[in-house]
Structure 1
Amino acid sequence: MKNIAIIGGGISGLFSAYFLHKSGYKVSVYESSKIGVECSYGNAGLTVPSHFEALANPGVLKKGLKWMLNPNSPFFLKPRFDMDLIKWIIRFNSFCTKKNVENNKYFLRDISLYSTSLYKDLMNSTDFDFDYKNTGLLMLCKEEKTLKEEEHLIKEANELGLKGRILNQDDLKQLEPNASFDVLGAAYYEDDGRVQPYDLIIAIKNYLEKEGVVFKEDCTIKDINISNVKIDSIVDNNNNVYYADEFIFTAGVYTSNIAKKFNLNIPMQGGKGFSFKVDKNDALNFTTPMILAEEKVAITPYDSYVNFAGTMMICGEDKSIVQRRVNNIRNASNNYINGLDIKENQMDDLWAGLRPCSPDGIPYIGRSKELSNLIIATGHAMIGISLGPATGKIVTSLINEEKPDLDIEKMNLYRF
């Protein structure tokens, strides 16, 4: 039985551990903090086949410097002199094209639908309980121009075989009769859904611990020992040495620095996002997750509370809470939802995390050519929760030396 070491205890690491355990391997997970508290924790929890446009797309480039240098915009670049950042920006801008969107939309659709089908299969499993709902997703639009853009995207989604339609105010009222929105209309993507990310991760962890999977928390991997073109062992911050047959790095944005030890170039920047929770009230009496289209704020309702998440700050590895950015999320939400007046003291569980963003908006999943027992899975940006099960299944196929269920060439580790 092979020993598998997984470095990174977020959604990709946990789903990799789950499917590898189900395949009969002995699995250990190493996490630098606590399981599930990094990028996966404050995630909006959306499963989004509707996000078939890569993060690098013409819409972002069009807003360009106007957005990237405005600290109040949904997408802000904090200026700093860093050659990795400069190279990333140049590459990112080069991928903000229609061609990049066209080249990747079928792949992003396929991997998202594959992951959604795995979520539905897991709901029927008795291994662990979690709350997944195929709720659909609303893109709420205040401006005519944005609604027109969404009409175009809905048409494209329909051509890709995805279910979606434009809703006017009456349609919105029919879908959500107990809430009211100050918008012109919305796009409704019916294939989308939501989970509670942290609860899901803890449910998987609890199941795997009972099954004998080892979890090492507060365990930062600081060094790698290599011999005969293989990783021999990993070393943590307390100089403990851990041996395994295969090593899988699912450490989010930090994987980029680790990869440099193998002379592997996988450019990434941390896209800092923020989130907070608000208890349900009359204004928040709806069940469909939504994104405020102009402000890029995601609002996800659960049974007793609603999660608000948004913004993308490219600012290195700084995870501090920026109150102004949090207030921007709050103010935008108050402006879109009638009767909503979130006060600062009502915002609970404030969180900031770093989404691992590749320059072309496509994840990295694959086996190293230089080190035969190394696999990397990272770079999921804002769709990590959405692609969690698919990532775990693909990693397991690579360990099993089987062909994955879909073509993963787009996620090639060596494309840059």
Structure 2
Amino acid sequence: MRQTWRWFGPNDGVGIDEMMQAGVEGVVSALHHLPTGAVWSGQEIARRQREIATRVDGSASGLAWEVVESLPVSEDIKKQSGDWRAHLAAYKQSMANLAQAGIEVICYNFMPVLDWTRTDLAYRVRHGGTAMRFDLHDFAAFDIHILQRPGAAESFPVGVAEIAAERFAKLDDAARQALTTNIVSGLPGAAEHFSLDDVRAHLAQYTEISAETLRGHLIDFLAEVAPEAERLGLRLCCHPDDPPFSLLGLPRVMSTEADYSAVMQAVDLPANGITLCSGSLGARDDNDIPGMMERLGDRVHFLHMRNVTRETPGLPCSFHEAEHLGGDTDMVSFIAAVLREEARRRDAGRSDASIPFRPDHGQDILDDLNRRPQPGYPAIGRLKGLAELRGVMTALCHAEHGLRL
């Protein structure tokens, strides 16, 4: 398992020197300053590579850009409307430029309109630190009373709308704005941020797009880009929906093992792969994360290791970001399944036997609380998570267990 760390670029509050002190082996990054649909030029890619390779004092860091997260898929491609064919051509050119630069793994997602969605970015947890949280009743208060989406009240389970109305009535203007800002935050680190009118306009464009239609568009996209990725020596890996259930009436197509199996079978190429995120998928109690790794492991190209604690039963549910070994997912069993997959790959002579992973998200603890980092990406909270994961890996790889790094 190759230990990596997400970096949002020069404006990230956690720098290259700090990543080195964390002991990471590679870097996960993207060109967040470029608009979705634009070509990632060789010059821009090389600039990011140089930034990663250089410490504050100008000396070599020894780190390299190893995983792209994310090369974003435009809304036009997802809807197959507007400039989607031009965006598809740009996507292929960006892939070619990344391959030319020696980068082999590209993570992306196919979530409509919004990326990961949370109602609270600084929820106070038991030990006094903070974590990101999705509260179903707060989200319903936003959907029904702030966004005022037609039919929103009827889209939630019985009793949720009533509690949401009570919650909304207790919010002052500042709290309503804070809730809106938390939810409508666009892509983390990206140049795009949506207003309420933007969200309403995007939602209107999805009213006629069902989950079946969106899945068909994803398969069409992959039928175009996966053969090109195969030719270029790239590995594409789709991130799951976050949360893994429908929000705002939007379709979801990568929320379960069945979703992944269908898309992997539809475009059955090794380059068409999976970002197995234990946090996103773990927000559903019917997702067996270690089992998914066992059954789908040969197509897993990238791992996000984080944990969530589900606060309410059923779907949709409330949850918060837990400590990496402290949530509802059995992280020890998950890591053991990853190590078994890596052993199978080594025995088969695969060049991608070591699967890159990163400690995804993290609770804000200690000095993180003063740094005000990118939401979900604290320095110390992620370092703690990486240390815990590294400890599990080391224990499982002890000679008596017959596994090795």
* TM-score scaled by length of structure 2: 0.27
Q: Which has the higher helix share?
A: 2
Which one scores higher on RCO, CA 8 angstroms, separation ≥ 6? 1
* TM-score scaled by length of structure 1: 0.27
